[in-house]
Structure formats: structure tokens, C-alpha cells
Amino acid sequence: MSEPVEGPLAGIRVLDASTILAGPLAAQILGDYGADVIKVEHPTRGDGMRGHGLDKDGEPLWWKMVGRNKRTVGLYLGDPDGAEVFRKLARTADVVIENFRPGTFERWGLGYDVLSADNPGLILLRVTGFGQHGPYATRPAFGTLVESMSGFAHLTGQPDGPPTLPAFGLADSIAGVAGAAAVSMALYRRERDGKGQEIDLDLLSPIMTAVGPGVIYADQLGIDQQRTGNRSNNNAPRNTYRTKDGEWVAISTSADSIARRVMQLVGHPEVIDEPWFATGRQRAQHADLLDAYVGEWIAQRTRDEVIVAFEEAGAAVAPIYRPSDLLEDPQVRALDMITTVEDPALGPMRMQNVLWRMSRTPGRIRSTGRPLGEDTDQVLAEIGLSVSEVAALRERGVVR
């Protein structure tokens, strides 16, 4: 962790006191772009992310990613002495991230009024399921629940099938990216007036926005969007199609010009002259016909043949990948979207790279997720705790 930091957030210190998944992801993104992220975890349980997903030789693999670029301190915030140590750490920080139920930080004496009294420029990102106030504020909430409430599950799946939840942490991931953006905005504002602020980020708002215009449709038209499977109400052909060799591809024709090229390619240019072909919304009303034409053409060709033909025609197509396919994709390789990182326990490992490429202040991965409490002594020494003080706290189980 002693390598020079190059990212745009170099010199920014973040205390990540959050757990599964949105808060840790926001902190990971900030760390990817140069922030000094100190992961504050329960001294015996650690972040629950350490127990999520698969492991190799006892090493949790998902943690290697979401815990990357973070120093880790084992500290029990529910103990008064642990809370006092945290307050000392917060005096040196630019950002604190927490996702406990509303009122928990205040009960521990770590409310924003306390932390900002010592550090007026501090930014506190508070991530919860439903926000800091309102009738649902104290409810336990996970991504699954807000994926259900946001309209995502209602819109996902086949029309005659059940609402469908994602097989991954979608709501948390969207909120994590939103959290990193919110912190960046607050840091920019602080540059102008020197003042920090609280950020109240609930999991529901970001995914509700990502789901699209359903709310405004309900308000203005009195209708609820319905499941359309892999089709779209906004354009056609738009679906997944099986190839001759048993693979799958996806097609989108959001642009009218692409729709024309697709139908010319699959041998049915006559539909282009139909009045209803002029707009995506009208084409979607004839999806059965268009899907039949496209599906028949694709079923007679291998995935690679389909992709080559579409590329030559200037039409839009993509293979439906498994994660292992991403490891070999030439575009992913060209942009280093998946990069190799050296892990002390497992050696070289490939994982998703930083989210965007900056020409002057690029982000990078400096370390994989580290063992719980690996940096406790170093970090607490930086805020003036002596070896004997740390030892006494460790003896009582307050730190690890």
C-alpha cells in the first residue's frame, strides 16, 4: 500500500464503515481513483461481504474486488472507546461512509453533529434502504426488496411468467455508483465554500430512476407498463435469438436506420415500405412478424456468422456472453476492462478494472481486498495511538 497514488482523488481520505454492498462499492470506486480508503470493520465479524460468494483456498474472491484499494482496521464502534477512536479517525477524514439503520450512528455518539463539530469539512454518506426518515426508515432493507418495489421485478420476465428478480446485486450496485458520484459532488462543493454535508442515499431512488419512465406514465396516462420479456415497447426487432450452433445473440433497433439494415440483411426489405415501419413504437406492434423473419434467418447460421454479417451490414448485434467469454473478448482486452492484479495469497487474478478511463489522472488497482485488521496498527499510529494503547484495546476486543 506504499505505492504512489495517481488518481484524481489523491489526498482524499475515506472511512468506509459500511457493509454489503452499496457503501463498500462506493468506497471501492473512490479508492480506485486515488482516495486513501480505510475500511473500518467489526473486529470479529468483519464486513459480511467477506462471506459472500465463492472462495478459493479459503480466500473470498468477491471480497478481493470490493475490498480492493482499502486499508482495513478492526474496530468495534458500539464500544465507547471504539467510538472515540473512530471520532479521532474522522477528524483526519474527508469522507465517512456508513449504512447502519437510522439512529445507530447517533446512538454511538457518531452523528454528523458530533463528527462535523470536530471536522466542519467532513462529508458523511449515509446509505440505507429507504432513507433517514419516513415510515419505512427503520425497516430492514436489502437490494432484493427495493428491486421489487422499484418496478424492476414487475417489468422483468416473460409476459405470462412471474415477476423476476436479478441474479446479482443490481440495486446495491447502482446505488454504489450513485454514492461515489454524490461524494464527488459534495467534494466539489466543499472546494468552493469549505463546508461538508450529509448525503442521504436510499437504495430505492437510483434503481427507480434506472427503471425508466414508468412513474410518469402512471401519473400522466394512468397506465402501468407490463412485462414484455426480451422485447421492447419502443422498438422492434428487439429480442434474443438462438443461432444454429446453440448460442444466443441479442439485437436492438433503437435507431430506425438500424431497423432498415436488419430487415434488408435478413431478406425482407418489403416491410421497410410498410407505413407502420416508420417508428420504433409502431414496429413494436408488429414484433411477432419481425421476430419470425429475424429468428428464422439467425437460426440458419452460427453465432460467429451472424455477428460478421451484422457488422458488415452496419447493424447492431451482440453475443450473449457468459462471464468466461468476457475474459477472451478482444474489445474488453483492448480497453483493459478486465485487468490482472497480484494478490498476496492467490497470485495473479483477473477482475473488472476501474469504471472509466481518465487521460490525466487515471485510476488503478493498487491492492486486492486485504485480511481483516491487516492495517490496524499502522492506521491507529497515524492518529497518535501508542503501541500500548492499541494493545490494551486489542486485549478488550475493541480493535483487531
Domains annotated for the chain, with CATH where assigned, are 13-210+333-395 (3.40.50.10540), 248-319 (3.30.1540.10)
Q: From residue 161, how far is each of 157, 167, 227 by CA, in Å?
A: 6, 17, 9
Nine-digit cell string for 349: 487474478
CA atoms within 13 A on the CB side of 128: 20
Whether residue 336 lies in the annotated active site: no
Q: Is 74 helix (H, G, I), strand (E, B) or coil?
A: strand
Gap between the Cα atoms of 102 and 137, Å rounded = 7
Q: How would you classify the pairing of strands 59-60 and 55-56?
A: antiparallel
- Give the pLDDT of residue 141: 86
Q: For residue range 317-364, what is the model confidence (pLDDT) as tens digits?
A: 999 999 999 999 999 999 999 999 999 999 999 999 999 999 999 999
132 pLDDT tier (thresholds 50, 70, 90)? very high
Q: Measure the N-to-C terminal CA separation of the chain; round to a whole number of Å.
A: 19
Q: For residue range 52-111, what is the model confidence (pLDDT) as tens digits?
A: 999 999 999 999 999 999 999 999 999 999 999 999 999 999 999 999 999 999 999 999
Q: What is the dihedral of CA 142, 144, 149, 151, to 10 degrees?
A: 140
Beta bridge partners of 126: 98, 200
pTM higher than 0.75: yes
Are the C-beta atoms of residues 180 and 26 closer than 8 Å to each other?
yes
Question: Which of the 8 DSSP states describes residue 136?
Answer: T
Gap between the Cα atoms of 212 and 16, Å rounded = 31
Asked if the model's pLDDT at residue 235 lies above 70, the reply is yes
Q: Could you tell me what percent of the chain has a pLDDT over 70?
A: 99
Are the C-beta atoms of residues 368 and 68 closer than 8 Å to each other?
yes
Which member of 16, 36, 47, 172 is catalytic?
172
